[in-house]
Structure formats: C-alpha cells, structure tokens
Amino acid sequence: MRLLAGATQEARILAGGQSLMPMLNLRLAHPELLIDINPADQRQPSVALSNSGGLLRLPALTRHRVLLEHDLIRQHCPLLAEAVRHVGNVRVRNRGTIGGSLAHADPTSEIGCCALATGAQVVVRGPHGDRTVPVSELFAGYWSTTLAPAEIITDVLIPVARPRQGWSFQEMVRRTSDFAIVAVAVIVNLAERTGAIAAANVALAGVADRVVLADPGLTGSAASDAAIDAAAARIADTLEPADDVHASGAYRRRLARVLTARALREASTRAPSGDRA
C-alpha cells in the first residue's frame, strides 16, 4: 500500500500475472513500477463464509483453481465454479486470481460476468481506509475500473445461492479456453409458493466495452418458453456490440439472444421447484 500510494510514475499491481504478464511480454503495458502482492511462501488464502452465512468472502488472491475446486464455492456459488472451467488453461488457473481478474476488467471476462450476475461486491483498500464497491459500479470501460490509482481490491464478497435459485453459464468460443465471443451468466430466483420468477439477473460478456447487466423484465412471470424468448430478444435489442476481427456486431447480438434464452431456460429448470403443487 505504501509503495502504491508513494508511486510517482505509473504503477501496476501484479497478482496472478496471467493477463498483465502477457501485456508486458507483448509490450502493451510498460509500467515504471510493478508491485508483486503474491505472498513469498505461496500460501493459499482461505475462502470463508461470513458470520451471518449470507456471503462468501474470497480473498483477492484466491486462484482460479480454488474457485473450480473449493467445496464452499461449489456449494454456495456453483455458477462461478462452472464458469471458471472456461477460463484459460491449467497453468493460467493455477496462478490467475479473482481479484486480479476483476481489476483487469476485461470486457469478455467470465469471472466479471458471474460477479455481476450474483450481485457481488469488492472490498477495496485505499489511503483513506476500506470501502465496499458493488461490481455493478466497478467497470468503467475497456480494461479500466472506477478505482483510484492508489486503491487495491482485497476481497470479493458473493451472496450465497438462495434455496429457490437456479443458475446457468453459457459461452461461445472459437477454441476452448479462448476469450469468449459472447458469454452469459444467469441467476434466477423463483417465488416460494407460485414458482413464478421472483428475480432474474442476466450478465453478458463480449457485447460492450465492459461486462454488462441486463434486466430481462421477467419478475412475476412464469418461466415459460415464450416469456424467456421474448426477454432474450428484448435484451439483445438493447445491445450494440462492435464489429471486430473475431465476430461482427450482428453475430454477437444474435449470440446474446440465443445464449440468454438458453441460460434463462436452464437456470429456471435448475431452480428447485419446492412445494409447487
């Protein structure tokens, strides 16, 4: 923190290094100061439930491999455990971290997508102490965040899955482990008695300059095929993805519609139906 606050030139924080190191190797970034925050003994930080049991607290240096394998995460945030399968490869997952991934703010980030869909927050430490920032207010555009230069993410807080919750992660890539062309993360909560949709969060990657949240407008509706298809089409219509070398904007918008519908359907089916008679 002292190094970061005292930096007079461009400083970058090195977490897992699986995005920043390629940028250094390819000369896309050239910070004057690189601050390595990895513990010298390579000790793994511990994932824990909050005292109330409502939040998962993941230290910023939690590696992707832990997200994939940890029992608490598989149980309380299965969406994230599933999505991390799509992140990088074995080596990248052994080093890459959840805090580093969010701070890197890649617009195709699977982890960013899940953080938005689950309503996660980050704990940020700066010269004036700690504050909590919802991930929905973290991203500012391509690879940039709303954090001040001397601030650093210390923890990620994820609300645990509720009893009547379903989830789905859908992604289209040209090659397994590559950057997503479009990815969609969905969380659906069903109402206690009626089984109608009480809340649905849709987060999309690869469709804008940052990962984005979209409102499917399904609250109170039954999770019917027609309602889901209409919601997916509405969301796709609000997006204006850019053309790039990997895919045209029109193709990305089409993917956003198809994957959103698929994800809403799977999430609704997955939500335990409870005492609906």
Partner 1 sequence: MNQCQITLIVNDRDYELWVAASDTLLDVLHDELGMADVRYGCGEGVCGTCTVLLDGEPVNGCLTLAVQAAGHQVTTMRGLLGPGEALHPLQECFLRRGASQCGFCTPGMVLTALDLVRRTGRPTREEIRYALVGNLCRCTGYTKILDAIEEYADL
Positions touching partner 1 (CB under 8 A) are 14, 17-18, 21-22, 24-26, 34, 36, 38, 40, 42, 88-92, 94-95, 175-177
CB of 169 to partner 1, least distance (A): 16
CB of 254 to partner 1, least distance (A): 26
CB of 98 to partner 1, least distance (A): 17
Among residues 51 and 176, whose Cβ is nearest to partner 1?
176
Among residues 88 and 107, whose Cβ is nearest to partner 1?
88
Among residues 180 and 198, whose Cβ is nearest to partner 1?
180
Among residues 150 and 173, whose Cβ is nearest to partner 1?
173
CB of 87 to partner 1, least distance (A): 11
3-class SS string, the chain: CHHHHHCCCCEEEECCCCCHHHHHHCCCCCCCEEEECCCCCCCCCCCEECCCCCEEEEECCCEHHHHHHCHHHHHHCHHHHHHHHHCCCHHHHHHCEHHHHHHHCCCCCHHHHHHHHHCCEEEEEECCEEEEEEHHHCEEECCEECCCCCCEEEEEEEECCCCCEEEEEEEECCCCCCCCCEEEEEEEEECCCCCCEEEEEEEEECCCCCCEEECCCCCCCCCCHHHHHHHHHHHHHHCCCCCCCCCCHHHHHHHHHHHHHHHHHHHHHHCCCCCCC
CB of 42 to partner 1, least distance (A): 6
Among residues 66 and 214, whose Cβ is nearest to partner 1?
66
